[in-house]
Amino acid sequence: MKTSILFKTINFAFLVIGMLSFGTMRAQQTTGDVTKASDIVPGTTTTGGAIRVIDNRGTIKYIQTQNGVTILSNTTNDVTTTTFQLGGTLTNDTFIDVDGNVFGLDGIELISTETASTDATTESDHGTGTGYTILVRDEATGAVKKLLASDLDLVQSGQESFTATAGQTAYPLTGSPELPAYSQVWVYRNGVKLIANVDYTIASSTVTLVPSAVAPNDWAVYAGDVIEVQYVR
């Protein structure tokens, strides 16, 4: 076996060590035996197989890949050279625990005018849809999944109207949505906006009116008043 293959092997070992420095991998196969793949024949095109190497005591050993790492054997120049590279099909569930360290990607393209996908399907390959989806993490399982922008609930809004009874001050919203800060909640009485934290207060999902008897801003709630609540969060 030529030195070039050994150098590639050493380089791959350093690559694995570098990946492990980001955190401990879990869920990949860590026990038992892995079935040996067929030997790679120099000069033939292959993206998988076993590379035969010899250690410093003459023992024949084999190196192979699985679970998302691809090897490529040259067919024209340097036919005894085999290259390990990232990319391929995962054969096992794979987790990388960053263990408090930063795991980041540099050189990511910034987009601003592209449209959201409307035809994305589950487990699709690239090139089978259009537009963009959003990558999200399932907190229960750690799995990375994709989400249509139209299904994203980062921004929520709501509106509800009530017909008051005489003296009614509390107006709990249907569905018990958690109301945000005053700057994102608007309350109207018969179409006239009330003053936040003066004419009304908010707590959890309830708006409470605060009528005043002090002139010239005195007011009361009468039967038939229409109280409208709008919010964005």
Q: Enter the pTM of the model.
A: 0.47
Are the C-beta atoms of 5 and 80 separated by less than 8 Å? Answer: yes
Residue 9 has pLDDT above 60, yes or no: no
Q: Which residues contact 56 (CB under 8 A, 6 or more apart)?
A: none
**202 vs 76, more confident:** 202
Residue 222 has pLDDT above 90, yes or no: yes
Q: Which long-range contacts (CB under 8 A, 24 or more apart) does 198-203 make?
A: 203/179
Element (H, E) at 232: strand 226-232
Average pLDDT over residues 194-211: 96
Model pLDDT for residues 165-198, shown as the tens digit of each residue: 999 999 999 999 889 999 999 999 999 999 999 9
Model pLDDT for residues 124-140, shown as the tens digit of each residue: 888 888 989 988 888 99
3-state secondary structure of 169: coil
List 86's β-bridge partners, or say none.
69
Give the model's pLDDT for residue 193: 97
**103 vs 163, more confident:** 163
**72 vs 218, more confident:** 218
Structure token pair of residue 6: 């050994």
List 97's β-bridge partners, or say none.
24
Average pLDDT over residues 80-98: 85
Band the pLDDT of 93: cuts 50, 70, 90. confident
Using CA atoms, how far apart are residues 201 and 54, in angstroms rounded to an integer? 78
Are the C-beta atoms of 34 and 109 separated by less than 8 Å? Answer: no
Band the pLDDT of 27: cuts 50, 70, 90. low
Distances in whole angstroms, Cα of residue 221 to Cα of each of 186, 210, 214, 226: 17, 9, 14, 10
